[in-house]
Amino acid sequence: MQTADLNSIETMENWEGMRAAFPTSSNTGASATATVYMTFEPGAELPEHRDSAEEVVVVLEGAVEGAIDGDRGILAAGQLAVIPAMAPHGFRNVGDVPARVIGFFGGSTNVATFTDAHGPEGWRVFVVGGPAPLAAPLDREPALV
């Protein structure tokens, strides 16, 4: 049985004030799903990106503004949203307290492609569920099929 304690899970800062961890994925032995646990300080955001798998996000605490495939809305604690595979989306904490969010992917390996480059290496593609953390820049815009 795979378990994860979200109260003590080690997260990594990906953007200023936004931390994340991937408690389950193909890397941990899951065969058909992956999870992402995110914390957002007030004003922190997860920039626009597209995921290869459908995702359901649930706000555990606080409130975030979600932009999903051109629609915007506020999600508060106890609310969820379904994000279709390859739909552009991002989130921002719009409250004055930290927000906690968990996402469930419809696949155990997920490829996230960010609209803008990240970090000194210009990474835009991140793979969740690989045998080791994997990130890469893009030399050109990805083709959507």
The pLDDT of residue 134 is 66
Share of the chain above pLDDT 90, in %: 74
CATH, domain range 12-111: 2.60.120.10
What ranges do the domains of the chain cover? 12-111
The pLDDT tens digits for 20-30 are 999 999 988 99
Chain centroid to CA 18: how far?
10
pTM: 0.90
Residue 52 phi/psi, 5-degree rounding, is -70, -20
DSSP 58-72: EEEESEEEEEETTEE
Task: Please say if the pLDDT value at position 145 is more than 70.
Answer: no
The pLDDT tens digits for 95-120 are 999 999 999 999 999 999 999 988 77
Choice between 131 and 28, residue whose per-residue pLDDT is larger? 28
